[in-house]
Amino acid sequence: MKTYLLLIGTLLSLTGCELDNFEPPKSTFEGRLVYKGEPLLMQSSNVAFTNNSDFPVFLELWQKAYNNRSSIRIPIKQDGTFSSLLFDGEYKLIVPNGQGPFLWKKTAANTPDSLNVTVQGSQKLDIEVIPYYMLRNPKIAINGRKISGSVSLEKVITDATNGKAVERVSLYVNKTQFVDAGNSLNKADLAGADIKDMANVSLITGDMPALVPAQAYVYARIGLKISGVEDMIYTPVQKINL
For residue 138, what are the domain limits? Answer: 133-241
pLDDT at 21: 59
Say whether pLDDT at 16 is over 60. no
Give the lowest-confidence range in 16-20, 31-35, 74-78, 171-175: 16-20
Residue 15, pLDDT > 70, answer no
SS (H, E, C) 127-176: EECEECEEEEEEEEEEECCEEEEEEEEEECCCCCCCCCCEEEEEEEEECC
Residue 22 lies in a domain: no
Residue range 18-52, pLDDT digits in tens? 445 568 888 999 999 999 999 999 987 654 445 44
Q: What is the pLDDT, as a whole number, of residue 4?
A: 44
Q: Which of 79, 112, 131 is the last residue of a domain?
A: 131
- 17 part of a folded domain: no
Residue at a domain's end among 84, 101, 131: 131
Name the H helices within the chain.
Answer: 2-20
State whether 107 and 165 are in the same domain: no
Quick one: pLDDT at residue 55? Answer: 63
Q: Which of 60-69, 105-114, 202-211 has the highest mean pLDDT?
A: 202-211
Q: Are residues 52 and 101 in the same domain?
A: yes
